Amino acid sequence: VYFKNGCKPQYLTYTAPNHASIATGLLVESHGIVGNYFYDPTTNTTFDLFNSTQKEGVVNASLMGHFYNGEPIWLTNERGGYGRRSATLFWPTGSGHWPSAPHKPTLHRPWMEYENLSQWMNDFDEIMELFIRKKDPYNFVAWYIPEPDHSLHLNGFKNGKINEKLRELDLLVKYINDKLENNSDFSKRLNIILTADHGHAEVFRTFLSFFDQFL
């Protein structure tokens, strides 16, 4: 087990650009996902993966291929052949139509908001089943948990909500560890990368300028 303090996000506060960079190894201007929300004047389409505009059909439109460049690791894995299979569970950009065939992983579940510890545990149970099943097992899974990011955006650091979510995440990590300890043969073959896409900090709104208001 190796631990490294901190991360260096490609875009300081936005989820979608950083997840695309983690998956492709590319800078934001190269993979094309330049924000959580942006307008493409060439195609007259809007990217709004998290449906901040609440416009009908905008999430599905955000999965269209003209937004995406590069090759994410789940497609590189599948293109390696020999029965390799990838899954993306709720990973932002994981259901996008990327340029390289097969364009999407064998299994992909689009991003969704959920905050329930029991659901996270069920997700990991499914992930383990994907890896260890006898027929058509998977060898790569990208899984996104929207906490503590979601709670920090809504509440900041000071009302106690973040501590509640951190406790739940600690319980989830213990659950995962216990599951792996009970399946030592599988755990010896499994590599887990646990990372964040960006950090958070308390700031004072009166001292900030929002570029979106000017660009």
Specify if 8 maps to a domain: no
Q: Which domain holds residue 94?
A: 15-210
Beta carbons of 118 and 168 less than 8 angstroms apart: no
- Check residue 205 and give its pLDDT: 74
- For residue 145, the domain's CATH number is 3.40.720.10
- Check residue 126 and give its pLDDT: 97
- Check residue 1 and give its pLDDT: 56
- Check residue 10 and give its pLDDT: 78
- Check residue 139 and give its pLDDT: 97
DSSP annotation of 59 reads H
- Check residue 72 and give its pLDDT: 98
Specify if 10 maps to a domain: no
Specify if 21 maps to a domain: yes
- Check residue 3 and give its pLDDT: 64
Specify if 215 maps to a domain: no
Long-range contacts of 166-169 (CB under 8 A, 24+ apart): 168/117, 168/120, 169/145
- Check residue 2 and give its pLDDT: 62
How would you write 70-118 as a 3-class SS string? CCCHHHHHHHCCCCCCEEEECCCCCCCCCCCCCCCCCEEECCCCCCCHH
- Check residue 134 and give its pLDDT: 94
Beta carbons of 26 and 20 less than 8 angstroms apart: yes
Query: In tens digits, what is the pLDDT along the chain, a chain of 215 residues?
Result: 566 676 778 776 789 999 999 999 999 999 999 999 999 999 999 999 999 999 999 999 999 999 999 999 999 999 998 999 999 999 999 999 999 999 999 999 998 876 789 999 999 999 999 999 999 999 999 999 999 888 888 888 888 888 999 999 999 999 999 999 999 899 999 999 999 888 888 877 777 777 767 76
How many structural domains is the chain composed of?
1
CB environment 68-79: b (16+ within 10 A), e (fewer): bbbbbbbbbbbe
Specify if 1 maps to a domain: no
Beta carbons of 10 and 35 less than 8 angstroms apart: no
Specify if 90 maps to a domain: yes
Specify if 169 maps to a domain: yes
Specify if 36 maps to a domain: yes
